[in-house]
Amino acid sequence: MALMKDAQGNLLGFRPDGMYLKLSGEDRLRQVFAIKGDKVSKYVSPANILKKANAIGFNYDGLKELLARGHKTIHVVIGKRPSIKLSIQSILDNKEFLWFKEQGFERQIFWKLDEA
Q: Is the pLDDT of residue 61 over 70?
A: yes
Percent of the chain with pLDDT over 70: 90
Calculate the average pLDDT of the chain: 86
Query: Domain of 17?
Result: 3-115
Count of beta carbons in the 10 Å neighbourhood of residue 29:
15
Summarize pLDDT for 88-100 with one digit per residue, the tens. 999 999 877 765 5
Longest dimension (CA), the chain: 36
Is 27 exposed, middle or buried, given 0-12, 13-18 or 19+ CB atoms closer than 10 A? exposed
User: What Rg value do the Cα atoms of the chain yield, rounded?
Assistant: 14
pTM score of the predicted model? 0.83
Helical H segments across the chain, by residue range: 60-68, 88-93
Q: Is the pLDDT of residue 84 over 90?
A: yes
Count how many domains the chain has: 1
Assign 79 a pLDDT band (cuts: 50, 70, 90): very high
Q: Looking at residue 94, what is its pLDDT?
A: 80
